[in-house]
Amino acid sequence: MWMPLSWAIEHWIGYFHTLTRTFGIVAAWYLFPDARVEAISAVIVAVYIVSLITLERRFQSIKSN
Amino acid sequence: MEQVSHASSITPVQNASIPLEQQREDFKKNRFIAMPLAGTVVWALLGISAPFVSELTITWLLYIGTGAIFYLGAGLSYLTGERFFAKKAAKNSFDRLFFVGMIMSLMVFAIALPVAAIDHTTVPLSIAFSQA
């Protein structure tokens, strides 16, 4: 869902989210065969934190305008 | 199919007076943090609990936990001011697009479930991908 969101709001964050998350989880799945849930969760949480900070900054700058 | 055409025949009537470009400007004013916040909380809990539970338990927790993200996000939306189910003055076509996108992502289960039956360690990958 992040890609169409990015297009709709004309902001890069959704493209970043989908691409880093997709490649990140596939890499995690192959690199950590004994801890797949842990590795995939770590990738997702990291991508979410970047996305949350970016979206909140975006929102604050819209509000202040 | 019938429902979709029925729904789309209603929408233009409700926001016929608002051009799509204006709807996009309204949509852009959203905060968009309720759902990612919910996702962060759920995936963090899944990652933390994984080493301490059995393979079967974590597989169930993955299905249940990620299924709960939407409802948790809906709850959080009342704290972030996004208010998912609030009655708005005008329906926004971009909210609808986002909702349709969510339904589409659920369809990944058509391939995720058969593959999970072959190898259950694909479950976190498939679910994580469907939400990307």
Which one, of B87, B4, B132, lies nearest residue A24 by Cα?
B132
B58 touches chain A (CB under 8 A): yes
Taking CA–CA distances from B124, the nearest residue in chain A reads: A37
The verdict on a CB contact (< 8 Å) between A22 and B132 is yes
CA–CA distance, B117 with A37 (Å, rounded to integer): 17
The verdict on a CB contact (< 8 Å) between A37 and B40 is no
Which pLDDT does position B90 carry in this prediction? Answer: 76
Residues of B in contact with A55 (CB under 8 A): 31-33, 36
Say if residues B67 and B102 touch (Cβ distance below 8 Å). Answer: no
A56: nearest CB among B27, B33, B102: B33
The verdict on a CB contact (< 8 Å) between A40 and B124 is yes
Q: Is the sign of the CA dihedral A16, A30, B120, B45 positive or negative? A: negative
Taking CA–CA distances from A20, the nearest residue in chain B reads: B132
Average pLDDT, chain B: 88
Greatest extent of chain B over all pairs of C-alpha atoms, in Å: 56
Q: Bin B46: left if φ > 0, else alpha if -120 < ψ < 50, else beta.
A: alpha
Interface test with B, best of A6, A29, A40 (most B CBs within 10 A): A40
- pLDDT category, B128, cuts 50, 70, 90? very high
A45: nearest CB among B30, B40, B132: B40
* Predicted-complex ipTM score: 0.94
Over residues A1-53, the pLDDT tens digits come to 899 999 999 999 999 999 999 999 999 999 999 999 999 999 999 999 999 99
* Percent of all residues in chain B with a pLDDT value above 90, rounded to a whole number: 76
